[in-house]
Each structure stands twice: as C-alpha cells, then as structure tokens.
Amino acid sequence: MTSHASIFTRLSNHGYFTVGGAAFIALLFAFVFIQGGYLLTVMQLAMIYGLFCVGLNFFMGYTGQASFGQNAFAAIGGYGTAILCVEYGWEPLLALVVSMAIAGIASVVVGYPTLRLRGHYLAMATFALGLITYDLSVQWTSLTQGYMGYSGIPPLGLGAFTVEDERAKLVCLMVILLIGLWVSGRLRNSRFGRALRAISTSEQGAAALGIRISHYKLAAFVIAALYASAAGSLFAHVVGFISPEVFGLQMVVVTFTMLYVGGIGTVLGPAIGAIIASLLPQILRSSGRFQDIAYASILLLLLIYVPKGLSALSGIGRSRPAEPNTNSADRKVVHRPIQPSTSKTAVGAE
Amino acid sequence: MTAGGSPLPALIEVNGLSASYGHIAALKPVDLRVEEGEFVTVLGPNGAGKTTLLRAMSRLIASTGKVKFKGQDISGLPTHHLAKLGIIMVQEGRGLFGDMTVRENLLLGAYGLGSSGHETERRFEQVFRLFPNLRERAGQVAASMSGGEQQMLAVGRALMAGPKLLMLDEPSLGLAPKVAAGILNTLGELNRNGLGILLVEQKAPLALKLARRVYVLSSGSVRAELPAHEIKSHHDLARFYFH
C-alpha cells in the first residue's frame, strides 16, 4: 500500500494527474461529441447525475451527513416539470424553476424535524423519505400517472428557442454542470462552506465557535434538494419521459457510487465520478456476461487504492508540508510577547 | 469594585453546576467564579471532573445548576450563543479542523465577526504577532503541523473570536516542556492585557505561576479554593486530592 501511495504521490506532485485528468476528460468529450449516438445519451445522463451529485456533496461531503433520500427531491423536480409542462403548457425553464422552489420548500418542511437525528438514524429517516416519495409516485396516479409515467415532456428551451439537437443538449447540460460546480466551489471556500466543513469534522467544535449547527445542516440539505430537483427536471426535459423507476432506489445507489468514486467532499469529485461511473459500464460492454463482475472489480480497486476518490489524485501531497511531521520539541517554536501598545486592543482583551 | 462601591458582577459565576454520564455523577454540585481579568486555574488528578466542568460550562454536555456571565443568567443558552457572548473554549486535544489550513481554522475562529474583513485582518495580525509560526504556515493543513504548532493554532483560533473569557482544557498536554511553557507564558501575557482566563491543567507548577486563584477538583467536587501562592509543593496538592 505504501509503495502504491508513494507512486501516486510522486505522480501527483509533478502535476501529472491534474494535466492528465483534464486532458483525458477533454478527449473523452471530443470523442463522444464526434462519435455521437448512444454515447451522447450516456454523457448527457452523466451530466445530469453529476449535477445531482454536486448537490448531494453539499450535504454528505462538505457537511458530513448521510442522506439516502435525495432522490425524493429529484422526483419532485421531474414530476413538477412534467406536470407543469404537459398538463398546463408552462415554459420548460419556468417549470424547472418553480419545481426547484417546491423542492426547496419540501426540503425545509422535511428537513427541519428530520435533521435532529444523527448518523444511522438520519440515514434511515432519509431513506424512508425516498421510499415514501417512490410509493407516492406509484400510487398517486391522478397526479403522477403511476407506472405509466409522463411522456411528451418538451425539450429545454425558452419561447421559440428549444434545444433539440443531441449535441446541443450535451453542451447545454455541460454548461449547467459547470455553473453548478462553480457555485459549489465558491460556497465551499466561503464562510458558509467553512462552517459546513467544520460541522463535518466536529459538531461540538463548530458550535463552540458560534456556528449554529441545525441551521447550517438544514441549509446544506436544502441546497442538495435544489440541485436534485434541477437534475430531476433536466432529466425530464432531456429524455422526454419519466416514471417512478427513474427516481427509485437505483438512483441512490448510482449517485453514491459516483460520489465516492469521484471523491466525496471535493469540488470536482462528483462530476468526475458521474462521468467515470456512467461511461465505465459502456466501456466494459465487450466483456459480455462478465460485465457486472468487471465493473464491481474496478470499483473495488478504486476504493482500495484511491479511497479519497479520483479527484483527490491531483491533490495528493499538495497541502502537506515538504518536511515530515516532527515532534513539537524538534521544531523551533517562536512565541512573541504582546507589545505594550496593543494592551487594550490585544486579541482577546476586547 | 465600581466607583460607587457596589461590587461588579463576576465575569463568570457558577453555582451548583453538576453533570453526569449516565448514572455516574462526573461533576457534583460545583461553585466557581472568575472575576474580570482574572487568571484562575483548576487543578486535579485524572478523572477529577476538570474537563467535564469546562464542557458543562460551555453547554457541550447537559448539566444542571446556574451559570452567570457578567451577572446575566446564561444557564439555558446553547453553546453557539455562549461563543457569541465571548465565552470561548479551547478543547482538550485542541479540537482543530485537521483537513483545513491554518488560515481557514483562524477564519472559523472569527466566524462571529460575519463579513467584517477589516476586523478579521486586524485579528489575524494580532494572532500572527503572538505566534509567528502560524503566519509561516498559514497555507498548511492543520493536521500536518507539530503538536506545539497545533496548540498555538488552537489558542490563536480562540483569540480570533475576540473572547472575554478564555477557557482552556490542558493546553500543555502532550507537548515538550519548553513548548508548553511558551504557550502558557503567552496566556499569561494575554491575561495581563485584561483577558479573563480559566485554565484546567495537570502540570501544576506552570499553572500556579500564572494563576491568581486555584480551585482543586477531585472526584467531581471542589476540595479547595485558595490563592495560587499558597500551594508550594505537590505535597500540598496531594493533601487536597486525597483528603
């Protein structure tokens, strides 16, 4: 393990992973763009799942909480947009925004009591939320049309302008994902993001610094729900059809895999994980009936050798000091007395 | 005393504070006070309830009893509210956010300032003046620093919050004597500049040099409250620990 780690570290310190990774993703896009066909659809779905995972990362990665129920908010987005567009003839973009607002309100209503729970209890509560939503989408046929689902959902667009070409759809989704990543990166390194990450490390430690834990957890939950809802709406517009299965348990499993493969808690990890985990089964198709075994084996190897996710490869060793971590006694430690001039305004004496 | 002669309320005053872990009473009703600008040390053997006392005062664990801060009853307030009042605790084991950089940890200390960039920068400068090592390592991940530097960061982060009362739980734990002495001396400097400090320590000689008053805690109860200069040796302390 150590030798593998040192190889990764050496490669990473030279920036090979960053440059190589960026080049690989760019080539992949170029290939898919030129190739067209089914791979285009796979990549479109990867972008949508990527957006979902970027949101999930707020709650699970930055804040360190467990949620098995974000698919519920994707369902709200998907069904919201489908009903508003098909039944009431709304503009897709407006339907997407309104669905996000509904998902946001629902997440506050559900999150406020649920987020008092911690650890496994929170995981189970959110899991139940996903199951309830799935059951509603099956049983509430007057609203959701049950297993029949909704078809004929119009493509994304505004007024007379619609995005119908498959390549244009991919570009559009990529831009939306990049915006989602940009927002995620900005928030992660903001006061808000630091508070979330502090909660992830130690709730008590964060509270001792004045951070109101329950508010921040709820905020992260709502953000995750907004992203999930947007992903659900986009799915409906891109595919043109939704049914309860789209937002079922499979979605939870797939997005968890993406999050961990890409790197939970990192900015780019969710997107990288979504792309790799979506394309991998297509690449492994040639292995025929061993496809699932090959897929699972690769996931296992990734989890063993790159436990922090693929995106972490570019950051290994970066934030660590060049010198080894030594005992405090071995390092010169400097203390400076407080200057008399700062006596009354000195830190802590205010 | 005020000009009119009426006594000023204590910076913090604890009356009958008790806490338990399940059926085990870790802290029996304890009375304690720290005056404005005073340096008070709580000494006691392992398992005396020192950490529990600080955690109960910070509301990190459930407790019963009264706690007043500058005369205001704060017994029912949650931890994050106490931090806003200026009651800041440096936890045992430093409680740093290991994956974050030194700068990010310090920024979290200044969380209560909101988006006041100018004030944050001013406090940065003051912390860096006290602990120049932190300036050099501002971009370094906290977990990768030495124990001494981590403790400096823990104190520095607490100072970023602009505390009125700084409570420290064994800041010298696991440090080389010279490094521990440096950190405690810095606390002494801060106290001379008016900061109220409540220090929980096992290293009695260091703590006694700085403190004005000492509480001796044993088996969850206060065994003695006396001026620090009255404790001359370990023998004096042992007398309270085991009586």
Kindly report, residue by residue over A108-130, the tens digit of the pLDDT.
999 999 998 888 899 999 999 99
B95·A329 Cβ contact <8 A? no
Do A296 and A218 fall within a single domain? no
- Contact status of A113 with chain B (Cβ, < 8 Å): no
C-alpha B135/C-alpha B240 separation (Å) is 43
The domain locations on chain B are 1-86+164-178+192-243, 93-162
pLDDT-based confidence at A168, cuts 50/70/90?
very high
Taking only residues 310 to 329 of chain A, the set having a beta carbon closer than 8 angstroms to any beta carbon of chain B reads 319-321, 325-329
Which residues does chain B have within 8 Å of residue A213's beta carbon, measured at their own beta carbons? 80
Do A223 and A258 fall within a single domain? no
User: How does pLDDT run across B158-170, given as a tens digit for each residue?
Assistant: 999 999 999 999 9
Phi-psi region of B63 (alpha: psi -120 to 50; beta: other; left: phi over 0): beta
The CATH homologous superfamily to which domain B1-86+164-178+192-243 belongs is P-loop containing nucleotide triphosphate hydrolases (3.40.50.300)
| A296 inside domain | yes
Does residue A326 surpass a pLDDT of 80?
A: no
* DSSP for A45-56, written as a single string: HHHHHHHHHHHH
Which residues does chain A have within 8 Å of residue B186's beta carbon, measured at their own beta carbons? 335, 337
Q: Are strands A161-162 and A157-158 parallel, antiparallel or unpaired?
A: antiparallel
Do A270 and A216 fall within a single domain? no
B147·A194 Cβ contact <8 A? no
* DSSP for A252-305, written as a single string: HHHHHHHHHHH-TTSSSHHHHHHHHHHHHHHHGGGGGGGHHHHHHHHHHHHHHH
Do A272 and A194 fall within a single domain? no
What residues does B24 pair with on adjacent strands? B21
| A13 inside domain | no
B193·A346 Cβ contact <8 A? yes
Domain that holds residue A304: 250-310
Does residue A140 surpass a pLDDT of 80?
A: yes
pLDDT-based confidence at A6, cuts 50/70/90?
low
Do A229 and A268 fall within a single domain? no
**Residue at A282: amino acid letter:** Q
CA-wise closest residue to A37 among A237, A236, A282: A282
B133·A339 Cβ contact <8 A? no
CA-wise closest residue to B166 among B30, B32, B38: B38
ipTM confidence: 0.87
- Contact status of A190 with chain B (Cβ, < 8 Å): no
Does residue A60 surpass a pLDDT of 90?
A: yes
pLDDT-based confidence at A339, cuts 50/70/90?
very low
From the list A210, A346, A347, the residue facing B83 with the nearest CB is A210
User: How does pLDDT run across B17-65, given as a tens digit for each residue?
Assistant: 999 988 888 999 999 999 999 999 999 888 889 999 999 999 999 999 9
Do A154 and A238 fall within a single domain? yes
Do A68 and A217 fall within a single domain? yes
Q: Which residues contact B53 (CB under 8 A, 6 or more apart)?
A: B17, B27, B30, B32, B42, B200, B217
Residue A325 confidence (pLDDT)? 41
B208 vs A63, residue with greater confidence = A63
Does residue B197 surpass a pLDDT of 80?
A: yes
- Contact status of A340 with chain B (Cβ, < 8 Å): no
Whether A55 contacts A224, CB under 8 Å:
yes
**Of A199, A226, A247, which one is at a domain's C-terminal end?**
A247
DSSP 3-state of B137 = coil
Query: Per-residue pLDDT averaged across A307-317, rounded?
Result: 74
Whether A11 contacts A4, CB under 8 Å:
no
A347·B123 Cβ contact <8 A? yes
pLDDT-based confidence at A24, cuts 50/70/90?
confident
Chain A: residue whose CA lies nearest to B132: A334
pLDDT-based confidence at A10, cuts 50/70/90?
low
| A73 inside domain | yes
B60·A207 Cβ contact <8 A? yes
The total number of structural domains that make up chain A? 2
Does residue B243 surpass a pLDDT of 70?
A: no
The rounded percent of chain A whose pLDDT value lies above 70 is 84
Least confident of A345-349, B68-72, B112-116, B216-220: A345-349
Do A241 and A265 fall within a single domain? no
Query: What are the counts of helices (DSSP H) followed by strands (DSSP E) for chain B?
Result: 9, 10
| A61 inside domain | yes
Do A138 and A275 fall within a single domain? no
Query: Per-residue pLDDT averaged across B124-135, rounded?
Result: 93
Do A270 and A227 fall within a single domain? no
DSSP 3-state of A199 = helix
Does residue B234 surpass a pLDDT of 70?
A: no
Least confident of A291-295, B7-11, B12-16: B7-11
Do A115 and A196 fall within a single domain? yes
User: How does pLDDT run across A208-248, given as a tens digit for each residue?
Assistant: 999 999 999 999 999 999 999 999 999 999 999 999 999 99
Do A114 and A167 fall within a single domain? yes
